[in-house]
């Protein structure tokens, strides 16, 4: 049996969960098709998902198509839950990107497709809801070619579009227009194929065309497009065959043991269950596993916290097979398994041999944050524990503790996520919480170059260390890069690490309290007092440098350099598309101006008016709230994070959560109290 780990991705409400249900039914796994609207589907199994009719967490189900076991991962489409999708991407062999035939290509569809392409994940497109009034086919294909990828081919045609009887007829060898389009697409991407085709068109058999299509789809160069309806079942068989024929199964490899944890949940007794996709090797019950890494690395956590990976025993495991998971004694390369017994495991961890991760984030980071406040101050401790537990299993929850004010910040993608956190805390932990006002997360970028140095043994440096650092601006989107301009051997490795880790930590709060990014930090000077030699008998801390000297001095030097460089605060901007009734545009435009949006020239589309433009992320929620009143409830707003842009006007300052090394005296007092 081959295994295919398949993700279903789309914008919200496109029909992913309904399609999952259909695929399970077509494969004979379930007898009755559940409905999202009744809260009876296999993958929307959380109480909150059933109540709200939306997917919040990714869920795995499996079914067989011929000799292929498909592990299907149904993902949430709401942009507030994008971090769930992010975790899943790293474990996929292929994807089906669903597009609604009625709503068409949305901003979120573009974000997802771009990411699938960047990661070279083989992707089929499924145009859903062809049974609904207003469904499109030809026009939508053009929009897909224009907005998603030109390398597409419709795998058939639709009849009775927009009615309950809508059906999908797959094209075959006899359809000359189809084979011509197929040949044209394939020749575009592959010179060898082009040569063969140009040499003798008739010599290229239909079988070869299909084989080549599978090969190019497998390399994420071509994207076959299927049409259908998750509700009536139209086109689902063709999609099923397409999945088996066109998407590549997992490559199975022998040793070493290596896997990625993409989901963590708690069982009925509170026990932790880790979902792992195995890339190579085999894990057996009672194996002692090494795991850890991903999350700490992402956050730039200090080395000491990630150096020794945990080793714990797998007490039980199950593997996905024909629907749900079943108890087994081992899980092997290519498969998805659930592991019990790993108490310290976190979402995003690697198991066994750490995997090379293809970059940290595939999507824009959350741009909002808020302070979570317990209803009763006495519950602050319990809240901290609860949120930390949620964060272990939920990649959406990123916590920041404010040690000065005893406050807990969570970063957010949006208001819906906030409601979900609130409901989960109430249901699972019995904690009532409120949120402070939601604020935008800005970033700081250096304006110029700054440098500072403090020498070992030279006042006013109270630490046994020499550290010199230079800060320079780097190209947008490159994050922070750390370089050495001193000989690597000049400083013991442990001290070098201490400096680099501290640089990363310190940059989480720049001159105005925001994360400093897109910069290069170079170590220009280093020095230390060596450990006292044997003749002195004992190690004398007052004469020999320790890691703490470097950790304490680095923030002082770095903030000095940063102050010289200067930073500019940038706020997150969204790109938006707004469709409103033409006669309301006169009231909509002034409102956009008030919200600091910058619209481009509106375009007329029949009775409606289309406006595109940029808007600060901070104002999107307000616009969304105003929209129904401004447009008689007809306005449709789509927006997605686009970039960071310098703040105009008053610079927002984020309250510091650490002891401010900008204030030298206060900082030194704090350090002294700590030792
Ligand atoms: N008419 C019609 N309705 C559909 C079809 N597919 C889904 N729906 C309806 O669209 C709504 C959303 O369907 P879901 O399956 O929950 O969509 P989803 O993509 O899983 O949504 P999220 O997971 O919340 O992003 C539900 O009311 C479905 O009944 C379809 O093919 N035709
Ligand atoms: Mg869903």
Helices 176-189, 206-218: crossing angle, 10 deg rounding: 40
CA distance 404 to 340: 38
pLDDT value at position 531? Answer: 75
Q: What is the pLDDT of residues 6-64, one digit of tens each?
A: 999 999 999 999 999 999 999 999 999 999 988 899 999 888 898 888 999 999 999 99
Percent of the chain whose predicted confidence (pLDDT) is above 70: 94
Alpha helices in 175-223 (DSSP H): 176-189, 191-199, 206-218
CA distance 372 to 357: 32
What is the mean predicted confidence (pLDDT) over 408-426? Answer: 88
For residue 295, is pLDDT > 70? no
Distance 61 CA to ligand 1 centre (A): 18
pLDDT value at position 169? Answer: 97
Is residue 128 lining ligand 1, measured as CB closer than 6 Å?
A: yes
Is residue 259 lining ligand 1, measured as CB closer than 6 Å?
A: no
Q: What is the pLDDT of residues 175-185, one digit of tens each?
A: 999 999 999 99
CA distance 568 to 631: 37
Q: Are 540 and 485 in contact (CB under 8 A)?
A: no
CA distance 183 to 212: 9
- Tokens representing 55 are 């997917």
Q: Which atom of ligand 1 is the closest one to the Cα of 10?
A: 19
What is the mean predicted confidence (pLDDT) over 186-199? Answer: 82
Is residue 108 lining ligand 1, measured as CB closer than 6 Å?
A: no
Distance 148 CA to ligand 2 centre (A): 22
Ligand nearest to the CA of 10: 1
Is residue 156 lining ligand 1, measured as CB closer than 6 Å?
A: no
Strands 325-328 and 223-227: unpaired
Residues contacting 589, CB < 8 A, separation 6+: 599, 602, 611
Flag whether the pTM goes above 0.85.
no
For residue 541, is pLDDT > 70? no
Pocket test for ligand 1, best of 7, 12, 13 (most atoms within 8 A of CB): 13
Determine which of 137-146, 359-368, 642-651 has the lowest per-residue pLDDT on average. Answer: 359-368
Is residue 22 lining ligand 1, measured as CB closer than 6 Å?
A: no
CA distance 274 to 262: 8
Of residues 365 and 396, more confidence is placed in: 365
Helices 191-199, 176-189: crossing angle, 10 deg rounding: 130
CA distance 22 to 8: 13
Count of beta carbons in the 10 Å neighbourhood of residue 659: 18
pLDDT value at position 360? Answer: 56
Distance 33 CA to ligand 2 centre (A): 14
**Which is nearest to 34 in space by CA: 70, 24, 131?**
24
Percent of the chain whose predicted confidence (pLDDT) is above 90: 60
CA distance 331 to 511: 50
pLDDT value at position 218? Answer: 96
The full DSSP string for 146-181 is HHT-S-EEE-EEEESTTSTT-EEEE--TT-HHHHHH
- Tokens representing 473 are 């601006």
Is residue 408 lining ligand 1, measured as CB closer than 6 Å?
A: no
CA distance 652 to 618: 12
Nearest protein Cα to ligand 1, atom 11:
13
Is residue 14 lining ligand 1, measured as CB closer than 6 Å?
A: yes
């Amino acid at each position: 049996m081959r295994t295919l780990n398949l993700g279903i991705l789309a914008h919200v409400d496109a029909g992913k969960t309904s399609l999952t249900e259909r695929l399970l039914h077509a494969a004979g796994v379930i007898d009755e098709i559940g409905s999202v609207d009744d809260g009876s589907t296999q993958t929307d199994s959380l109480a909150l998902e059933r109540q709200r009719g939306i997917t919040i967490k990714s869920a795995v189900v499996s079914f067989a198509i011929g000799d292929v076991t498909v592990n299907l991962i149904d993902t949430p489409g709401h942009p507030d839950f994008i971090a769930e999708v992010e975790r899943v991407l790293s474990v996929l062999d292929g994807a089906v990107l669903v597009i609604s035939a009625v709503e068409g290509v949305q901003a979120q569809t573009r974000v997802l497709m771009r990411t699938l392409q960047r990661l070279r994940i083989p992707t089929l497109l499924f145009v859903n809801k062809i049974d609904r009034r207003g469904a499109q086919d030809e026009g939508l294909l053009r929009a897909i070619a224009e907005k998603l990828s030109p390398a597409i081919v419709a795998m058939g045609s639709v009849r009775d579009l927009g009615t309950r009887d809508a059906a999908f007829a797959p094209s075959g060898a006899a359809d000359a227009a189809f084979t011509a389009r197929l040949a044209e697409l394939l020749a575009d991407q592959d010179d060898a194929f082009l040569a063969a085709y140009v040499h003798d068109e008739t010599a290229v058999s239909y079988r070869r065309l299909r084989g080549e299509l599978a090969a190019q789809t497998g390399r994420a160069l071509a994207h076959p497009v299927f049409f259908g309806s998750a509700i009536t079942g139209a086109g689902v068989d063709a999609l099923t065959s397409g999945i088996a024929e066109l998407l590549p199964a997992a490559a199975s490899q022998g040793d070493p043991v290596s896997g990625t944890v993409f989901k963590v949940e708690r069982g009925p007794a509170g026990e932790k269950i880790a979902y792992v996709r195995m890339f190579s090797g085999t894990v057996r019950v009672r194996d002692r596993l090494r795991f850890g890494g991903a999350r700490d690395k992402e956050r730039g956590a200090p080395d000491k916290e990630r150096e020794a990976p945990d080793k714990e025993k797998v007490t039980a495991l199950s593997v996905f097979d024909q629907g749900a998971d079943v108890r087994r004694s081992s899980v092997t390369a290519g498969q998805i398994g659930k592991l019990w017994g790993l108490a310290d495991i976190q979402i995003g961890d690697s198991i066994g041999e750490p995997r090379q991760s293809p970059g940290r984030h595939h999507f824009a980071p959350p741009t909002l944050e808020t302070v979570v406040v317990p209803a009763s101050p006495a519950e602050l401790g319990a809240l901290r524990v609860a949120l930390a537990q949620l964060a272990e299993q939920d990649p959406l929850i990123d916590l920041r503790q404010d040690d000065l004010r005893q406050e807990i910040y969570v970063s957010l993608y949006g208001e819906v996520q906030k409601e979900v956190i609130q409901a989960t805390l109430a249901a699972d932990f019995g904690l009532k919480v409120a949120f402070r006002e939601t604020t935008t997360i800005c970033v700081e970028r250096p304006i110029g170059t700054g440098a500072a140095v403090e020498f070992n043994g030279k006042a006013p440096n109270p630490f046994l260390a020499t550290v010199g650092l230079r800060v320079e601006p780097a190209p947008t989107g490159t994050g922070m890069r750390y370089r050495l301009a001193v000989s690597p051997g000049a400083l013991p490795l442990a001290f070098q690490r201490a400096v680099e880790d501290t640089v990363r930590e310190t940059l989480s709060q720049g001159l105005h309290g925001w994360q400093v990014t897109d910069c290069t930090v170079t170590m220009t000077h280093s020095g230390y007092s060596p450990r006292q030699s044997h003749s002195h008998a004992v190690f004398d801390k007052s004469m020999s440098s320790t890691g703490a000297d470097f950790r304490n001095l680095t923030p002082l030097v770095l903030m000095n350099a940063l102050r010289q460089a200067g930073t500019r605060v940038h706020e997150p901007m969204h790109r938006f598309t707004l469709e409103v009734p033409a006669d309301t545009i006169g009231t909509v435009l002034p409102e956009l101006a008030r919200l600091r949006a910058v619209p481009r020239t509106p375009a007329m589309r029949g009775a409606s008016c289309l406006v595109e433009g940029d808007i600060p992320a901070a104002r999107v929620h307000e616009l969304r709230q105003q929209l129904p009143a401004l447009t008689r409830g007809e306005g449709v707003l789509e927006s997605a994070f686009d970039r960071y842009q310098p703040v105009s006007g008053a610079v927002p300052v984020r309250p510091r959560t650490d002891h401010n090394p900008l204030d030298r005296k206060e900082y030194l007092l704090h350090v002294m109290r700590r030792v």
